[in-house]
Amino acid sequence: MIATTNTPCGMLYISGDSYLIDKISWTPIEGPLDKDSLEWIVKGIESYLSGYSRTFPGYLSFIKGRPVWTRKRLEHSAEGISQQILILISSIPYSHTMTYGEIAFKLNNVRLARVVGQVCKNNPLPILVPCHRVIGKNSIGGYTGGIAKKHFLLDLESGATHMELRQSIVVSPQSFETNQ
């Protein structure tokens, strides 16, 4: 099932059902629309993007090695480096950031900084697994939704005022294009 929600950054597409979310994207996802089945997570995301909530209902889990967001906690162990990275990213508190290198250091291998970047790039659950909180040592880094969306999310979490958030949105109509 697919649900959509209009955000300050544009349309957000959510794939899953009443039990789990398997994909979130800033670009369309194919499938039948059923917002009712996904209302549990849509409301959480809308509340977060409105500045009312700092957490989401559910948990990061892995089913057959794939990251999913589930309503109920599933027991799992991080089997691969990508899963370990996603778990670390999920532990970054609201309004905080970590660099790609800091995450690699926590994994006891500073050479994994580029791998951390690739895991962020391929994260199927942006916002829920907050890859926008992962930044470069000397730059903001990339974001699958585009740099303008990453700036918006970081500004939202930093406590920027409503007016400041609106100004970051109206900088350029093309600023939220996903291919930046």
Q: Which residue has the tokens 């930093």?
A: 158
In angstroms, the CA 69 to CA 151 distance is 24
Q: By CB neighbour count within 10 A (0-12 exposed, 13-18 middle, 19+ buried), where does 143 fall?
A: buried
Q: Exactly one of 60, 112, 125, 131 is catalytic; name it.
A: 131
Are 116 and 83 contacting, i.e. CB atoms less than 8 angstroms apart?
Answer: no
Phi-psi region of 31 (alpha: psi -120 to 50; beta: other; left: phi over 0): left
Catalytic (active site) residue 120: no
The pLDDT assigned to 176 comes to: 44
Structure tokens at 148: 């303008």
Neighbours of 126 (CB within 10 A): 21
What is the full DSSP assignment across 133-173? GEE-SSS----TT-HHHHHHHHHHHHT--HHHHHHHHTT-G
Q: How would you write the pLDDT of the chain (180 residues) with one tens digit per residue? A: 999 999 988 999 999 999 999 999 999 999 998 888 999 999 999 999 888 889 899 999 998 889 999 998 887 666 889 999 999 999 999 999 999 999 999 999 999 999 999 999 999 999 999 999 999 999 889 898 889 999 999 999 988 654 455 455 544 444 444 443
pTM, to two decimals: 0.85
Q: Which residue has the tokens 């920027």?
A: 160
Are 64 and 50 contacting, i.e. CB atoms less than 8 angstroms apart?
Answer: no
In angstroms, the CA 59 to CA 88 distance is 13
